[in-house]
Amino acid sequence: MTAVLPILPGATLGVMGGGQLGRMFVHAAQAMGYRVVVLDPAADAPAAAAADEHLCAAYDDPAALDELARRCAAVTTEFENVPAESLRRLARQIRVAPSADAVAVAQDRILEKTFIRDAGLGVVPFTVLHTAADITADACGNTLPGILKTARLGYDGKGQVEVNSLDAVREAFAGLQGVPCILEQRVDLACEVSVVLARGSDGAVRCFPVGENRHVGGILDITVVPARVSAATAATAVDMATQLATALDYVGTLGVELFVLRDGRVLVNEIAPRPHNSGHFTQDATVCSQFDQQVRALCGLPLGSPALLSPVTMLNLMGDLWARGTPNWPAALAQDGARLHLYGKKDARPGRKMGHVNVLAADADAALAAAETVRAVLAGD
């Protein structure tokens, strides 16, 4: 692969999307001396408050995209649903990483699962459903009981329905407005893990330590690092994620979610073409964070060390925590090893990601126990 000229501190970087991931990218980039422009249609986007400039416009507004290209030396993305066509338009003018093609794969579960399988990596058995006529006993026999997932625009368990029969698939498909879906076999999970990695424009890959993820209601709740899985399982997960990044010719920070089955097999669940919620522990527990790596990869600079400095547990702070009023921040901060990250969102709605706490401790079990204590004291228990 051709080496690119590095974009040095002092330059201006752009980010498509102004959510919390964009905000943390802004913080990392500014810490390294870059200026950052955020493009997001929301006036109160969390990243806009931190950025040097905010282009408040739709993601497919051609004038805004051209303006972003004029102001920036390179552009990255913080969420996968940025129209790939917008990234292509930017890429005709300036450096864009990850590429529109890589983002397009992650935007569509049909393309994504097919790409992963074609790369020779294990995925859960799935059936592609374009229309109701595709719902037949032959096609779906191997994937029931299953989970019906919309091909596009699903996140945090949204756009998913558990189904146990063909009739249930038909009903759920109609309920999802008949948009293209995949029906995935429901598998028996021993645990879920993720590998967050960075890949440079020179093809170098640096993987962060494997995280063990616990979800509640389809939303990530806790990540424990190092994952409490065998060394062989962890090595397999890292190997699979690395293969995938290389097959995608990926440049930037990539999140790879994997299933560890009860029979020991490791399957890829999905990928995120951006920093990942399960990689937030890297802000406090590794030499470089996933956001540092995103900046470095985008700028064509050497990637940093992903080495773990301390076992850690990341606890997501959901809006639900505000049900009984403002969480008890002083009590949480009194816990040794806890570091608080809040995204500056005004409305604490249930199911909304408001922030996270990273808790460092002597080992993974102690970090998990300490994170549970933080959760309890925040809620005033």
Interface ranges with ligand ADP (CB under 6 A) = 124, 147, 154-157, 184-187, 189, 192, 215, 218, 257, 269-270
Of Mg ion, ligand ADP, none, which one sits near residue 339, judging by CB under 5 to 8 A according to partner kind? none
Residue type, 329: W
CB of 231 to Mg ion, least distance (A): 25
Residue with CB nearest ligand ADP? Answer: 184
CB of 131 to ligand ADP, least distance (A): 22
* Backbone conformation region of residue 138, classed left if phi is above 0, alpha if psi is from -120 to 50, else beta: alpha
Is residue 215 within 8 A of residue 202, CB to CB? The reply is no
CB of 175 to ligand ADP, least distance (A): 17
CB of 112 to ligand ADP, least distance (A): 10
Residues in contact with Mg ion by CB under 5 A are 257
Of Mg ion, ligand ADP, none, which one sits near residue 212, judging by CB under 5 to 8 A according to partner kind? none
CB of 23 to ligand ADP, least distance (A): 20
Q: Which is nearer to ligand ADP, 98 or 146 (CB)?
A: 146
CB of 101 to Mg ion, least distance (A): 21
- Bridge-based pairing of strands 181-185 and 126-129 is antiparallel
* Closest alpha carbon to 280 in 343, 374, 217: 343
Q: Which is nearer to Mg ion, 103 or 135 (CB)?
A: 103
Of ligand ADP, Mg ion, none, which one sits near residue 184, judging by CB under 5 to 8 A according to partner kind? ligand ADP
The two structure tokens encoding residue 353: 């990601």
Q: Which is nearer to ligand ADP, 28 or 271 (CB)?
A: 271
Distance, CA of 138 to CA of 147 (rounded, Å): 17
Of Mg ion, ligand ADP, none, which one sits near residue 114, judging by CB under 5 to 8 A according to partner kind? none
Q: Coil, strand, or helix at residue 280?
A: coil
The two structure tokens encoding residue 264: 């020991």
Q: Which is nearer to ligand ADP, 268 or 377 (CB)?
A: 268
- Residue that the structure tokens 């309890």 belong to: 376
Distance, CA of 155 to CA of 250 (rounded, Å): 21
Q: Which is nearer to ligand ADP, 184 or 292 (CB)?
A: 184
Distance, CA of 196 to CA of 274 (rounded, Å): 9
CB of 255 to ligand ADP, least distance (A): 10
Of Mg ion, ligand ADP, none, which one sits near residue 9, judging by CB under 5 to 8 A according to partner kind? none
Give the DSSP per-residue string, 12-55.
Answer: EEEEE--SHHHHHHHHHHHHTT-EEEEE-S-TT-HHHHHSSEEE
Of ligand ADP, Mg ion, none, which one sits near residue 148, judging by CB under 5 to 8 A according to partner kind? none
Is residue 316 within 8 A of residue 366, CB to CB? The reply is no
Q: Which residues pair with 192 in a beta bridge?
A: 213, 259
Distance, CA of 379 to CA of 373 (rounded, Å): 10
Of ligand ADP, Mg ion, none, which one sits near residue 192, judging by CB under 5 to 8 A according to partner kind? ligand ADP
